[in-house]
Structure 1
Amino acid sequence: MCALLVPEVFFRDPDGRDGIDCSRVPSRRRDIECYICGSNRGCAIECSEPKCGLGFHVSCGLEKSLSIEYKEGRGGAIVAGFCVDHTQLWKKQQITGKFKIVPRDREPKGKIGC
């Protein structure tokens, strides 16, 4: 799942979906502590709500039914993931039609936590 939903992880052979390459994952992503399992092993994504600093592993987020959205864009794929509180907000925005998936600022956000 990480090769599909973590922007810097990719398949060396995309057609066969083989050979996962994590060499482009920035160190800041490896330092994020998953607020679900408490581990900073592997790499995590950050909640896409701009003022939220919570991060989580894709696998932990999927296990907890968090919203993780994927959209093909002109400059590449955009992945938006939301913590539990912002997943609820995201689901409400989808119902009203007032939602848009946009790339999150790529700068480090500092301390993890809302």
Structure 2
Amino acid sequence: MGDKWDHLVCALLVSEVFFGDPEGREMIDCSRVPEKRWKGKCYVCKTRKGCAIECSESKCGLEFHVTCGLNEDLCIEYTEGKKGAVVAGFCNPHTELWKKQQQTGKFKIVARDY
């Protein structure tokens, strides 16, 4: 926004970011992103640059950048719901549990309620 630039994938997968022009996917607006996201430390790259999302498993405190998560093949799911888009992203250990749960149904992992 302004003189800054944003990753398009972050605009799609960070729930508080939206487009001023959704049809053209232009004018990314980050004004609703909480300050704590800008101060979060990515456990993958170990930096505080950019916006970090929290692992969606409710008892996990790990944070990561969307781009770092995608590079590490972490589970980041986007679902359209009745109340708008829902994004769930999991750190490496919880990505593995999420995948096993989806395959077997034996594990109990629930996405954080935002």
Tell me the TM-score normalised to structure 1 length: 0.84
Instruction: Find 1:8's aligned residue among 16, 19, 33.
Output: 16
Instruction: Find 1:54's aligned residue among 62, 67, 70.
Output: 62
CA distance in 1 between partners of 2:18 and 2:105 (Å)? 31
Superposed CA RMSD in Å reads: 1.7
**Structure 1 residues 101, 50: closer, same or farther in 2, change over 3 A?**
closer
Local SS of the residue matching 2:47: coil
Q: Which 5+ residue runs of structure 1 have no aligned equivalent?
A: 107-114
CA distance in 2 between partners of 1:87 and 1:77 (Å)? 20
Local SS of the residue matching 1:24: coil
Contact kept in structure 1, 2:15 and 2:86, CA below 8 Å: yes
- More relative contact order, 1 or 2 (CA 8 Å, 6+ apart): 1
Q: Which 5+ residue runs of structure 2 have no aligned equivalent?
A: 1-8
Percent of residue pairs bearing the same amino acid type: 65
Tell me the TM-score normalised to structure 2 length: 0.84
Matches within 5 A, 1:68-87: 68-87=76-95
